[in-house]
Amino acid sequence: MSNGLGTPAGACGYAKTGITYNYGNVAAASSKLWKNGAACGACYLVKCGIKGICNSQGVKIVVTDRGDGDNTDFILSSHAFETMALPNKASQLLPKGVVDVKYERIPCKYPGHDRLMVKVTEQSRFAEYLSVVLLYQGGQYDVLGIQIYDGSVKQWKDMRNAYGAVYDLPNPPKGPISLRLKLKNIASGGAVKLVKLDNVIPRFWKAGVAYDSKVKLA
């Protein structure tokens, strides 16, 4: 995250979107919070408490990567880190590197992106290999799994969690493709629900394109 924003090589698999996700206020989650990639896309309010340097508002961050620091729960982008500072105090906060913080899970909100998007990753190859990642997931949900509907056998099939937030399947069914998400609602005590995305991926899908699910998660 040397440019102060996110990184296109983050462990969640958001690629170029990870650079400016949430206006660059992003973070890598530690092993403690990673949850085998279910931490990807989770939003937190993070505050530091150094009097005279840290503000009271803190910063709202999105997990886009994985990383372990010096007994830290997050590694914030420098943009997110300095956002915790009072006006004209970022130059005093940044050199500290590691600070004590308080944090809490909060609902994700993306102005201008209120519906869940399904991106076919750049690694996909039409008709041979399908790899997807969810973008702009609102609310407080952990993604526990993604299934794909195979109309030829009338069955839902589990996609493999390749890494981070990326799920894949070789020889996918012909489109249009419907997906079913297994989501854990953190806000409601961990209740699990299934969310169906009908025909979310068109028949002739393309690698690198994000498709509108028309579903709002809140």
pLDDT tens string 23-64: 889 999 999 999 999 999 999 999 999 999 999 999 999 999
Nearest-angstrom CA–CA distance, 51 and 28: 25
Cβ within 8 Å of residue 95, ≥6 positions away: none
- Which pLDDT tens digit goes with each residue over 96-129? 999 999 999 999 999 889 999 999 999 999 999 9
- The yes-or-no verdict on residue 156 having pLDDT over 90 is yes
CA 201 from chain center: how many Å? 19
- Cα–Cα distance measured from residue 33 to residue 68, given in angstroms and rounded to the nearest whole number: 10
Residues contacting residue 161 through CB under 8 Å, at least 6 positions apart: 36, 37, 145, 167
pTM recorded for the entire structure: 0.92
Interacting residues of 82 by C-beta distance below 8 A, sequence separation 6+: 90, 93, 94
For residue 168, the cross-strand partners are 131, 160
Type of residue at 47 = K
pLDDT attached to residue 2 = 42
pLDDT for the residue numbered 3: 47
pLDDT at 167 over 50: yes
What CA–CA distance (Å, rounded) separates 96 from 46?
16
